[in-house]
Amino acid sequence: MKIINRDISWLSFNERVLQEASDARIPLIERMRFLGIYSNNLDEFYRVRVANIKRVMSFDKKITLNNKGTAQKLYAEIRDIVMKQQKTFEKTYQQIIKELDDNNILLINDKSLNKHQIKQLDAYYNLILKHAIVPIILDKKTSFPVIKDSSIYLAIKIVGKDKKIKYALIQIPTDFSRFYRLNADEKEYFILLDDIIRFYLKNIFKIFEFEEINAYTFKFSRDAELNLDDDYSETLIEKIEKSLKQRVKGKPVRFVYDQNMPEDLLNHLLKSLDLSKNENAIPGGKYHNFKDFISFPSFGHSEFKFSEQIPCIHPELEHVKSLIETIADKDILLHFPYQRFDYIVDTLREAAIDPTVKSIKINVYRVAKQSQIMNALIAAINNGKKVTVFLELQARFDEENNLNWANKLKEHGAKVLFGMQHFKVHSKLMQIARQINGKEQLISYIGTGNFNERTSLIYGDLGLLTANPTLGNEVKKVFRLLENNMDRGIYRELLVSPMNTRRKLIALIDKEIKFAENKKKASIKIKLNNLTDPKIIDKLYRASQAGVKIDMIIRGVCCLIPGVKDLSENIRVISIVGRYLEHARFFIFENDKNPSYFISSADWMERNFDKRIEVGCPIYDKSIQKELEFIFEQQWNDTVNARHVCKDQKNTFIHSKSDKPFNSQLALFNYYEKKAKIIE
């Protein structure tokens, strides 16, 4: 079967992020922030995906990884692609710096400071920064320090007057902004924290007599996989806590360094870190850890940022006496970030004081550190409601935050349960149970994204609020499964992984194949983050061969190859990367002119079908069905943020056939804003 390697496809996705940074149509400061997103993505890719490839390489060099041959060959191809992207990255960064300069926002460095600027920096350095700098001399008497992969370092070479050479390290302090703004009249000046430290190197190492001292940036990535072994004497919490401590000592997978670093200093670092220059080391520019540039300041220039888009009200949830009663009467679809996430929090807050509410259950994958959702649950506990929270401790890089919330919820009296060791709970469910005239009423929320008010402002997600008793009872079964792993239940409506999602999706595709074979119109519309599952891909190829028209919007990884004659010529794939992160998953099956609509927490990946608890939900409300059709149509017609996804991985933009480009994310915001104004 013809497929694109998952990791190569992911690198192609990240190149689309890099394209945003290069796009002159995007506001200047936002382009710098896209460089930060690209860098952050790549860091995580190395810590997770490349780390896994390295484990395979160390285990057995003969193991093959699907269509890329051995792990060594795949790793070599990844390195080649990253090196090419690194050149584009550096070129883009320099172009943005030039354009900032043209607009009187100037990046200065340690070599270009004037007397007035030095005076400002002296005060900042001596009063605030100096005591946060901890230099470490590298010598044979002391062991090499543990390098953190969330930080950047200056590797320092000191050449003494006696020609003897010393090496040292300084970790760039993480409690300070990376960008220091200098006061000026007509122009804006800023300097990076790295260069402030470079400027004061002679002061920091003044006890040494030296002829020359220079500093070179590097950063380091470690394997981020948690080691959760089968020691049954430890609880899952104990294993997570132990593994988090071990993560800082994980095996190295990448070393990015200033290409001007002297060879002797570079070799010393590589030897100390047990790294290979040809395998692990990637040369780059003077500055690293560009994830900090996600928070690049705007310097008061609103024209260099995206125009403000405040989430809109939902016409059916505004100015109502009771959100819960409104949901009881009609299904409600929320679309973030275009509509307010507050409605979820406010529904919980209402449930906290509603005398008919007896219990609240929720499963949580990622939440904000200062979570309104969690505070609303605590309010419910304080009002005597029975609150059960299923926290996924294995949500990568959020494990510590989830542990903190688990402890806080327990302190307030919540029943806190954790996901299973070999299955992540990735579904997005909430259920409020009421007693109305002696009967139970279930208010359920089934979503595609996390209960996180912070990310809801940038992640495009969907959430259904419903009192449908059939759906409610099946959601109740999922919660029962989470409480008792043996009680799996039967799900006739919901798509629940690992029980039936794959089987139901294949059955839905098979129906479309039969319609096509019987000369009936057959089509599927699919919106996902990632498509990697070989069995599903094979089924989609078969559907295409039967004549089923398949349109897919895949933001990230797409292992399927569209447009191949006699294989996938009826499949078209686009990817949208823009201001908002496209995160919603939904699909529409034509079903012989009686379409079936679903939203889901699951991408079409092996792990989402087989190794996670995921929940997809049919949409029955006709008006919501029309809205899903509208959302898909808007995004499919995008000519600003959309690229073709095809075998060559070139990410060519889809150009407008008219003179007016169409930005689906802006169009959707305008659509919801117009709907909101109807009741204002």
Residues taking part in catalysis: 426
**Mean confidence (pLDDT) of the chain:** 90
Cβ-based neighbours of 10, under 8 Å, separated by 6 or more: 45, 49, 556, 557
At residue 543 the predicted structure's pLDDT band, cuts being 50, 70 and 90, is very high
Nearest to 351 by CA among 340, 341, 362: 362
Positive/negative CA dihedral, 204, 210, 212, 217: negative
DSSP-derived secondary structure letter, 413: T
Using CA atoms, how far apart are residues 378 and 364, in angstroms rounded to an integer? 14
Q: pLDDT tens for residues 176-235?
A: 999 999 977 788 999 999 999 999 999 999 999 999 999 999 988 877 664 444 443 444
Q: Tell whether the model's pLDDT for residue 380 goes beyond 50.
A: yes
Among 243-247, 360-364, 653-657, which stretch is predicted with the lowest mean pLDDT? 243-247
* All residues at 6 or more sequence positions from 428 whose CB lies less than 8 Å from its CB, including other chains: 363, 365, 445, 446, 447, 448, 449, 450, 451, 463, 601, 615
Give the pLDDT confidence score for residue 397 in this predicted structure.
Answer: 57
What integer pLDDT is reported at residue 242 of this predicted model? Answer: 47
Backbone dihedral region of 69: left (phi > 0), alpha (psi from -120 to 50 degrees) or beta? left
DSSP per position, 142-156: SPPPPPPTTSEEEEE
Q: Is the per-residue pLDDT at 498 higher than 80?
A: yes
Beta-sheet pairing, 281-284 with 252-258: parallel
pLDDT tens readout for residues 112-155: 999 999 999 999 999 999 999 999 999 877 788 888 877 899 99
Reported as half-sphere exposure (CB side, CA atoms, 13 A), residue 386 has a value of: 6
- pLDDT tens digits along 13-53: 999 999 999 999 999 999 999 999 999 999 889 888 888 88
Q: Are strands 210-222 and 152-160 parallel, antiparallel or unpaired?
A: antiparallel
HSE of 680, CA atoms in CB hemisphere, 13 A? 9
Q: Percentage of the chain with pLDDT > 70?
A: 93
| C-alpha span between 101 and 89 (Å, rounded) | 18
Q: What is the pLDDT of residue 480?
A: 94
Question: What mean pLDDT do residues 499-523 have?
Answer: 97
| Domains in the chain: ranges and CATH | 6-304 (3.30.1840.10), 323-489 (3.30.870.10), 496-677 (3.30.870.10)
End-to-end CA separation in angstroms for the chain: 55
Bond into 337 cis (ω within 30): yes
